[in-house]
Amino acid sequence: MSQKPSIPKGTRDFGQREMARRNYIFDTVRSVFKSFGYSQIETPAMENLGTLLGKYGDEGDKLLYRILNSGDAFASVDFNSPIAPQVCEKGLRYDLTVPFARYVVQHQGELSFPFKRFQMQPVWRADRPQKGRYREFWQCDVDVVGSRSQLCELELVQIVAKVFALLGIRVCLKINNRKILTALAEVCGYPGKVVDITVAIDKIEKIGLEAVEAEMLEKGLSAEAVAVLRPALTLSGSTASKIAAMRGMLSSSSEGMKGLDEVEELFSLISAAGVDMQCELDLSLARGLNYYTGAIFEVKALDWQIGSICGGGRYDNLTGIFGLPDMSGVGVSFGADRIYDVMCGLELFPKGLEAGADLLFANMGREELAYVLPLAAALREEGLSVEVYPDSAKLRKQFEYCERKGIPAISVCGTQEAEAGTIQVKKLSSGEQRSFSKAELGSAAAFVLGRE
């Protein structure tokens, strides 16, 4: 007996219902990106390993999928030397930001700066699959490079607010600044351990404050240093009061004061723009990626328990790694798969998305088809999605097909309709039936779509 086919853990198949819902998300996000003047690009699924390695920290490097050079990559391996560099020169992309930075450097002579792009493609991580965490998932990224103005950050905040308002998801946008985290490492006496500190802090929501403090102790911080950090991780109150408290804590750090100035300016811009979304200064927000240098963002759904559904931040040095220094950028990434899970859980998708067609023409036989086929083509020109049933089957079977697929209307045209030059259209939900002449196909389309 042959083995039942399966797919790798952490990946998913999507049928017509799921794809209709996912495309609803993609179309919504794309429309918002375009409304702010961003243009779409795509990059290859694989990148050279040299492009990817070292950009995500040690933990990120461990999650990179490496690709064998060929099917016989091990044929000429020197087993006395490190094997991986000999057989793997490429890897599947871990995110869209690093490939975007590579793209900007490679195509800089063709671009106008500030360059505003969006990108909607799958990424891969060799992570442990669990609820809301997949090995293959889609990201919808929007970035602007070539400007240090915090109006860019504000625009991203506005994009986040508009996307989730259109999708019907209530969210909280959490904001911090990487300069503040760098300053915390300075004032606690461990400036060289800023990466260890931020990686630990980034887990605070998953494992709790005590476990985070234990991890920092394991990384070599003293108990006194951890005690210095604790007030910042437990700070509550208004944005203004948090900033005031942190100014006292970080007064000796010019980097920290600059970060607080940036946070204060950004919240001022958000207020002036009238952004109607819950925004919160969260000083425990770290985001583990090494390339962030300024503002960092994370979006949480308020009505569904899941990890962040959107995140990003400011990066000043990413293109410099590829030979183009002083090109600051900022962006956010929408996690399409988690957004999908939230919308399914909260039943936020509009009804009827999965319907493949607006109208089905029943197949009454060869002679009737000669009359129906031109009508179907003409109605498609009127904006309808039209199917013609392929077989001359019993009408009951054709009606059942229509109902199973969620097609809202059916047209049964026989010899009588062909001789009269008319088209009969019936709405299945209400049973309402209308007859139209061939000159009234625009009205027939409006009847099907409910736009009379």
DSSP result, 184-215:
HHHHTT-GGGHHHHHHHHTTHHHH-HHHHHHH
Task: State the pTM of this model.
Answer: 0.85
Domain 16-43+97-345 has CATH 3.10.129.10: no
Ordered per-residue pLDDT tens for the chain, 452 residues: 568 899 999 999 999 889 999 999 999 999 999 999 999 999 999 999 989 988 887 788 889 999 888 777 676 777 777 767 777 889 999 999 899 999 999 999 999 999 999 999 999 999 888 876 889 999 999 999 999 999 999 999 999 999 999 999 999 999 999 999 999 889 998 888 888 888 888 888 888 888 988 999 998 999 998 898 888 888 889 999 999 999 999 999 999 999 999 999 999 999 999 999 999 999 888 876 667 899 999 999 999 999 899 999 999 887 888 888 889 999 999 999 999 999 999 999 998 787 779 999 999 999 999 999 999 999 999 999 999 999 999 999 999 999 988 899 999 999 999 999 999 999 998 999 999 999 999 999 999 998 87
Judge contact between 256 and 183, C-beta under 8 A. Answer: yes
Q: Boundaries of CATH 3.40.50.800 in the chain? A: 359-449
* H or E, element range at 175: strand 171-177
User: Which CATH number does 359-449 carry?
Assistant: 3.40.50.800
Rounded-to-integer distance, Cα 385 and Cα 406, Å: 13
In 45-87, beta strands by DSSP E? 46-48, 66-68
Phi-psi region of 54 (alpha: psi -120 to 50; beta: other; left: phi over 0): left
Q: Boundaries of CATH 3.30.930.10 in the chain? A: 16-43+97-345
Provide the pLDDT for residue 205: 80
